[in-house]
Amino acid sequence: MVPIGRLSVVALDCRDPRSLAAFYSAMTGWDVEDDDGEWVQLRSNGGVTLAFQLAPDHEPPVWPGGERPQQAHLDFDVDDLDAGEEQVLALGARKAEFQPGTSFRVFLDPAGHPFCLVRGG
């Protein structure tokens, strides 16, 4: 089957695109590629990258459910869950209260978007 398109960017709405881009830049090691204040995009090592779009009225999801359930989340493979946790917490992430598994851990980025660190990769 011939694909219609190729996924290139995952964009997250947030109130402060620059600060959220800085968080994910520190986490991934990717540099900021584009920044017009309302759209900040990282340069990835290839394939899909991340972007952050100004949404002044953004309300973060409530995880694991609730009035504003998550509609998407990001997974990041790590070699060591404990070391990864220590590093993302130092960057400003918060560990989610509810942890449904043992091979991954759920965190909230500074804007409240859920993401997981996953052992292995």
Give the start-end residues of each E strand in the chain: 9-14, 31-35, 39-43, 49-54, 74-78, 94-95, 104-108, 114-119
Provide the pLDDT for residue 72.
Answer: 86
List domains and CATH numbers for the chain: 1-57 (3.10.180.10), 59-121 (3.10.180.10)
pLDDT tens digit sequence for 48-85? 999 999 999 999 998 887 788 878 889 999 999 999 99
SS3 17: helix
Bridge partners, 41 (sequence order): 34, 51
Provide the pLDDT for residue 32.
Answer: 97
Enter the pTM of the model: 0.86
